[in-house]
Amino acid sequence: MIKQGLLAITCAAILIGCGDNKTSATTNQVVQNVEQNKTEAKQTISYASKCASCHGEKGEGKAGFPKLAGQSEKQIADKLNGYKNGTYGNERKNIMIPQAKALSNEDIAELAKTISKF
Ligand code: HEC
């Protein structure tokens, strides 16, 4: 009964458009953003969104962008760490260094695992 009453009041408020609509839309947006941030915080960087544009959907490589498919998890992780700390790199390393520096250790572990399965 109480629930129904509340529902009726809510509906009435929406129907009347007493000005709360805007507030509740904003509140919903905030709640949505918080939920989204929670999901993003849990996720590591995705290969598809951060790497595929240069290295290809399946790490097949493109002109000027090396093939990653076929390398082991360790090889990929070592190279990414190498770009980060300056111990690895070829003639186009300046493109890759900022990409690698943006990765956390967890990102590198996760990406290396993903790429080694291509
Ligand atoms: C803007 C284009 C670009 C993006 C985006 C990019 N890379 Fe690269 N990547 C390169 C280039 C160019 C090289 C070759 C650099 C060199 O000469 O050492 C490279 C090299 C590499 C290598 C070493 C390959 C080898 O065998 O020497 C790895 C591993 C790698 N990238 C992984 C990644 C990962 C993982 C991402 C996503 C987080 C990524 N790259 C995003 C351009 C890019």
Domain ranges of the chain: 1-50, 56-118
Q: Reduced to 3 DSSP states, what percent helix, strand and coil does the chain have, rounded to the nearest 5?
A: 70, 0, 30
Average pLDDT over residues 91-95: 97
Q: Is 5 helix (H, G, I), strand (E, B) or coil?
A: helix
| pLDDT tens figures, 21-76 | 566 666 666 666 666 655 555 566 899 999 999 999 999 999 999 999 999 999 99
* Confidence check: pLDDT of 1 > 50: no
* pTM to 2 decimal places: 0.74
Q: Which helix (H) or strand (E) holds 16?
A: helix 2-16
Q: Whose CA is nearest to atom 33 of ligand 1?
A: 51
| pLDDT tens figures, 75-84 | 999 999 999 9
- Ligand 1 pocket, CB under 6 A: 45, 50-51, 53-55, 65-66, 68, 76, 79-80, 89-93, 95-96, 99, 103, 111
Q: Whose CA is nearest to atom 3 of ligand 1?
A: 54
Average pLDDT over residues 4-18: 46
Query: Which residues are registered as beta bridge partners of 65?
Result: 62
CATH class of 56-118: mainly alpha
User: Given this model, what pLDDT does residue 45 score?
Assistant: 85
Q: How far does the centroid of ligand 1 lie from the alpha carbon of residue 21, in Å?
A: 48
Q: Which residue has the higher pLDDT, 64 or 7?
A: 64
Q: Which residue has the higher pLDDT, 4 or 107?
A: 107
Q: Is 45 helix (H, G, I), strand (E, B) or coil?
A: coil
Q: Is 19 left (phi over 0), alpha (psi -120 to 50) or beta?
A: left
Mutate which of 65, 76, 96, 105 to test ligand 1's pocket (most atoms within 8 Å of Cβ)? 96
Q: Which residue has the higher pLDDT, 86 or 28?
A: 86
